[in-house]
A = this chain, B = another copy of it.
Amino acid sequence: MSRGTERVDGMSVFDPDCTSREVLEHATGRWGALTLAALVNGPLRFAEVGRAVSGVSDRMLSQTLQRLEADGLVSRTQQSTIPPRVDYDLTDLGRPIAERICDLIETIYEQLPGIVTHQRALRAAEASPARDTSD
């Protein structure tokens, strides 16, 4: 049991009923991770987050932000002006988590060349299964 995610506190992300698993799913969901990553450089308005996380619809962005807000990872500040202005920011709870997401993304960047090479090798192997690629 050298390294991993075991905890002596009686909580485990592997437990389907543990809050940590829920939070993990919100933070790593399809849009959750990108949303948190988009906020590390400072607060953004709704539309700005949407532009940063390209591909997300208003609906999904709204849901994602609401969940992150409910978990206390993101704060929502609304100015009831016209037009309205809403700023989203990381909370003290959310910032360290968002930073770990950025670390993960950085690591993926670092491994990306190897991953792409692997994917290409796989496709080549599928195209001509007679000859293997281990040479």
Contacts and interface: CB of A to CB of B under 8 A. Distances in A.
A116 B15 contact: no
Given A14-B38, A24-B105, A71 B119 contact: yes
B97 A108 contact: yes
A123 to B, nearest CB: 10
Interface stretch (A51-59, A80-88, A127-135): A51-59
Contact of A41 (B1, B72, B103): B1
Work out how many copies of this chain go into the complex: 2
A99 B2 CA distance: 13
Interface of A: 1-5, 7, 9, 11, 13-16, 19-21, 23-25, 27-30, 33-34, 37-38, 40-41, 52-55, 70-73, 92-93, 96-97, 99-112, 114-119, 122
